[in-house]
Homo-oligomer: A and B are copies of this chain.
């Protein structure tokens, strides 16, 4: 069930949920009790992603991205998705190429000619919020306010192809930009460690991990490693997201593949080059068939399409450990 409302202003559509409607979802549909939520990716995507949903994810295509969850969304051929595309290189072309996504809030549209051509062909509609604007919309959602102000976007054409508004600031009298809150239907977070309840830890920087978890109707965490719940209480500064924001936990070693997981494994540049090279429907179809449709799940993908030897090599290459703990 898609929760957010679509608004239309002129030629621009945007997702907006009244903060009170989001709050009622949180009150009635998000559990506070510590209960195990460990499920398979198949179960998580089937239960928590619906056609028409708005999806955001953290971090990037090449680093700590929730790639196994994105592939599962494609495997299940969710339809008419709306993507908050930030630090996207390959997610948007793949989701559009598979027929899953029809609208993209940009952000960064994605890498390569395929996605650009899809926009030119009208197969996907875009709205231009910019990276900072999207991050701020999610922060507004996370703070329970209907908008946040910013001193960028002003003067640019992005203002005309988004629902950002200019008002007169009552304190300075100057023009200021407002962006509306974004409450995505689903946030995907790929993390270093999680427990079965949903407590989750990221090492390194993030785009808006806690913001997205607070702002989203549903949160799916995929984790390289499942750890004991007690770990989080021993070290509360390291907790990125507490369990009660999270709806499902998926154990996904190599879940960021072909991207890197800092301090765990490096990028598979050869595989990334194959993604970067996709230009035609035919190439897109072949990639999806080989890497997604012809394997039952992430485990089979790793086993049959990546292989233990390559995984070992990518682990070996991850030599920068400092700071990621």
Residues of chain A at the chain B interface (Cβ within 8 Å):
16, 18-19, 144-151, 165, 167, 169-172, 174, 176, 178, 180-181, 203-204, 234-238, 322-323
Contacts A170-B165, A323-B235, A323-B236 known; A145 to B178 CB distance under 8 Å?
no
Contact indicator A149/B146 (Cβ below 8 Å): yes
Q: Check B234 against A323 for contact (C-beta < 8 Å).
A: yes
Query: What CA separation (Å) do A39 and B248 show in the bound complex?
Result: 51
Tell me the complex Cα distance, A238–B18, Å: 36
Can you sample 16 A-B contacts with CB below 8 Å? A19-B172, A145-B148, A145-B150, A145-B151, A146-B169, A147-B170, A147-B171, A149-B149, A165-B170, A170-B178, A171-B178, A171-B181, A204-B237, A234-B322, A235-B322, A235-B323
CA–CA, A16 and B203, complex, Å: 37
Complexed CA–CA distance, A149 and B180 (Å): 12
**Given the complex of chains A and B, what is the CA–CA distance between A80 and B202 in angstroms?**
45
Is A151 touching B144 in the complex (CB atoms < 8 A)? yes
Q: Which residues of B contact A169 (CB under 8 A)?
A: 146-147
Q: Which residue of B lies closest to A19 (CB)?
A: B151
**Chain B residues in 8 Å Cβ range of A235:** 322-323
For the complex, what is the distance from the CA of A147 to the CA of B18, rounded to whole Å?
21
- Given the complex of chains A and B, what is the CA–CA distance between A105 and B235 in angstroms? 34
Q: Which residues of B contact A150 (CB under 8 A)?
A: 145
Cβ-defined contact, A176 with B237, below 8 A? no
User: What's the Cα separation between A171 and B180 when bound, in Å?
Assistant: 7
**A148 smallest CB distance to B (angstroms):** 7
- The answer to whether A145 touches B203, judged by C-beta atoms less than 8 angstroms apart, is no
Give the residue of B18, B174, B181, B237 whose beta carbon is less than 8 angstroms from that of A203: B237
Please measure, in the bound complex, the distance between the C-alpha atom of A149 and the C-alpha atom of B150, giving whole angstroms: 12
Question: Does the CB pair A176–B323 fall under 8 Å?
Answer: no
On whether the beta carbons of A16 and B171 are closer than 8 Å, the reply is yes
Q: Ordered nearest first, which 5 A-B pairs have the shortest CB separation?
A: A146-B171, A145-B149, A171-B180, A146-B172, A146-B169
How far does the alpha carbon of A269 sit from the alpha carbon of B237 in the complex, in Å? 27
A-B contact sample (16 more), CB < 8 A, given A19-B172, A146-B171, A146-B174: A16-B171, A18-B172, A144-B151, A145-B149, A145-B150, A145-B176, A146-B172, A147-B149, A147-B171, A148-B149, A165-B170, A165-B171, A234-B323, A235-B322, A235-B323, A236-B323
- In the docked arrangement, what's the CA distance between A211 and B311, Å? 42
Measured CA separation A150–B236 after assembly (Å): 27
A295 to chain B, nearest CB (A): 35
Tell me the complex Cα distance, A234–B322, Å: 6
Bound together, the chains give a CA A106 to CA B277 distance in angstroms of 60
